[in-house]
Structure 1
Amino acid sequence: MEVQQTLTVCVTGAAGQIAYSFIPLLLSGQVFGQVKINLRLLDIPKMETALKGVVMEIEDCAYPLIGDIQTGSNPKELFKNCDLIVFLGGFPRLPGMERKDLLQKNANIFKEQGEALQEVGKDDVKCVVVANPANTNCLILSRYATKIPRQNFTCLTRLDQNRAYAQVALALNKPLNSLKNIIIWGNHSTTQYPSIEHATADGQSFVLPDQGQFIERIQKRGAEVLNARGNSSVFSAANAVKDHIKDWFNGREDTLLSLGVLSNGEYGVQSGLCFSYPIRCLGAFKYEIVGNLELSDFSKQKLKVTEEELIQEQGLAESI
């Protein structure tokens, strides 16, 4: 094994369940391949002892790719010199909590972390926001870290795309690798639009017996998992983070991928919103929004619904 490169990666919420599933993927080469990883693990102060336990387990795995490890609760210390930061940490939605309350809690967290990025972060650091509400958290982060290029901020909608692929494969009784170009538009929420309008199976377009049921199933899949196991998605979320970063880093031009990125007005979406679009990953952490797809009136209406929700979230975040 010849290691060709070293990257410094910070994971926030690093004592949490998604991090516990993601870190082994990262350190075993499933994200970047044979790249050495200097690891930074960030969590709130009361979790620092738990972080020590995470480090012990990393040591006990004897990963050949691990470099140095630092842990702590101060983003201004751990964000320094990072090439990539994976934002898993956020305030969870508690029973009885309205979405506005969740936005307020997380707006303050991502404001603080954006300010830390602005002060100590590398000018070309790449950011992946997973903590919900992911799109608006990503928007807030970018607003307070203005020295970093807009295209370096992304949020996770790959989990929704993976879910959509799996459900289509089941519905059509087709292998997953026969499918292409299933797209997630908009917000990582129940207004998201999982679209098969430009999708193919074995190179051919297709229809589903009940498209409305398919859309609703993907929109509510997170709640379905939560109800079934008594906890939110964990290893499927970690796997989606792996897929998101791997394809962004290595490039994958053979199919359209779904990433939440900052809009420049594509498809009439308000500029500045963090919106999930059809993306072509070009490699070396570069991507392009595929902006020339023809949309049906049905799709345009679905995009409008999810855009309006993101505009509302943006307004709530700005009022805090």
Structure 2
Amino acid sequence: MSAEPIRVLVTGAAGQIAYSLLYSIAKGDVFGKDQPIILILLDIPPMLPVLDGVVMELQDCALPLLKEVIPTDKVEVAFKDIDAAILVGSMPRKEGMERKDLLKANVAIFKTQGAALDKYAKKTVKVLVVGNPANTNCLIASKSAPSIPKENFSCLTRLDHNRACSQVAMRCGVSSDQVKNVIIWGNHSSTQYPDVHHAKVNLQGAETEAYQAIKDDAWLRGDFISTVQQRGAAVIKARKLSSAMSAAKAICDHMRDIWFGTKEGEFVSMGVYASGNSYNIPEDLIYSFPVQIKNSTWKVVDGLPVNDFSRAKMDATAAELVEERDTALDFLSQ
């Protein structure tokens, strides 16, 4: 184990998602089984006592790859020379809160974190934004870190992607690894479009188009889409808490793919910078596309045929993102 440790920052580190996430990172599930890690845990001052408990637990796991854990409430400590940033912490929507108020609060948070990335982080840092509204928070962080390439920023739609894979797999009676190339288009919100027009299902060794495998177009264009769109709310209703375990797993999947690449012939969903894509998505958005990753660099899978049904859904979620972006940029300029 001669590799230099990499510095990995997790924000909102005293929260639920981080609690499910940190063990997997420290154990080597994300950055590799022979990659030593220094974990930096950032949270707000009132959460520091909780963070101390998390640090104790990480120590008590006795994980050989974990070289150091640094809890802090200071951005200059948290963002210093980091290789990867997983920005989980954000202002959650409270009851009676307008989306506009939520955006305003989060613009302030991600402007600060973007500026800290710009000032203290390595220019090669890979930044994953998880905190909602994730697409727009990611855009604000990127705009606030002009010296870091836009391609280094992405937001999490892998949870939605995994949800869509799982729904198709259950419907076909196969395990989820027998489903590939589902797509989440657009915003990580209830307007997102889970699309299986290009998905394949392995049925008894034969690769079959998802629409052929399921043979139920009404379900695929109706309940399937709404189930994936509303899944987060359904989990909260049942658990009285958010979907922390599945979110943590999706974060691990997303970051591992950035580090090690996607499988040949497969693509995954990721919120990335919309620029020069072949799908007529407005520029200057963080929009979820199908991507393939090689050498830690993502590339949008261009040129997939889009039918009228898909087009309308893709445009609707883009319209929501444009509106969110414009509202957020007004706050950013204030």
Provide the rounded CA distance (Å) in 2 between the counterparts of 1:224 and 1:5. 42
State the shift of 1:36 in Å.
0.4
1:144 aligns with 2:156: no
Corresponding position of 1:73: 73
Provide the rounded CA distance (Å) in 1 between the counterparts of 2:280 and 2:301. 13
Sort the Cα spacing of 1:297 and 1:3 in 2 relative to 1 into closer, same or farther, 3 A. farther
Provide the rounded CA distance (Å) in 2 between the counterparts of 1:122 and 1:23. 21
Q: Which amino acid aligns with 1:249?
A: W
State the shift of 1:3 in Å.
5.0
1:228 aligns with 2:232: no
Q: Out of 242, 264, 269, which is 2:275 matched to?
A: 264
Corresponding position of 1:6: 5
- Which of 265-274 and 134-143 deviates more? 265-274
Q: Secondary structure at the match of 2:267?
A: strand
Detail structure 1 runs of 4+ shifted over 4 Å in the superposition.
none
State the shift of 1:265 in Å.
3.6
- Using the size of structure 1 for normalisation, the TM-score is 0.97
Q: Secondary structure at the match of 1:220?
A: helix
Q: How does 1:170-249 map to 2 (within 5 A)?
A: 170-202=170-202, 203-207=207-211, 208=214, 209=216, 210-211=219-220, 212-249=222-259
Q: Which amino acid aligns with 1:290?
A: V
Corresponding position of 2:43: 43
State the shift of 1:179 in Å.
1.2
Q: Out of 221, 239, 250, which is 2:260 matched to?
A: 250
State the shift of 1:240 in Å.
0.4
Provide the rounded CA distance (Å) in 2 between the counterparts of 1:129 and 1:273. 14
Sort the Cα spacing of 1:99 and 1:3 in 2 relative to 1 into closer, same or farther, 3 A. farther
Unmatched tracts of structure 1, length 5 or more: none
1:190-241 Cα deviation digits (max 9, x unpaired): 0000000101112211324212110011000000001011011101000000
Provide the rounded CA distance (Å) in 2 between the counterparts of 1:7 and 1:141. 22
- Which of 69-78 and 148-157 deviates more? 69-78
Contact 1:225 1:231 in 2 (8 A): yes
Q: Which amino acid aligns with 1:240?
A: A
Q: Secondary structure at the match of 2:263?
A: strand
- Using the size of structure 2 for normalisation, the TM-score is 0.93
Provide the rounded CA distance (Å) in 2 between the counterparts of 1:5 and 1:29. 14
Contact 2:41 2:78 in 1 (8 A): yes
Unmatched tracts of structure 2, length 5 or more: none
Number of corresponding residues: 318
Identity of aligned residues (%): 45
- Which of 200-209 and 239-248 deviates more? 200-209
Provide the rounded CA distance (Å) in 2 between the counterparts of 1:108 and 1:6. 31
Q: Which amino acid aligns with 2:27?
A: S
Contact 1:76 1:117 in 2 (8 A): no
Q: What is the root-mean-square deviation of aligned Cα atoms in Å?
A: 1.1
Q: Which amino acid aligns with 2:209?
A: S
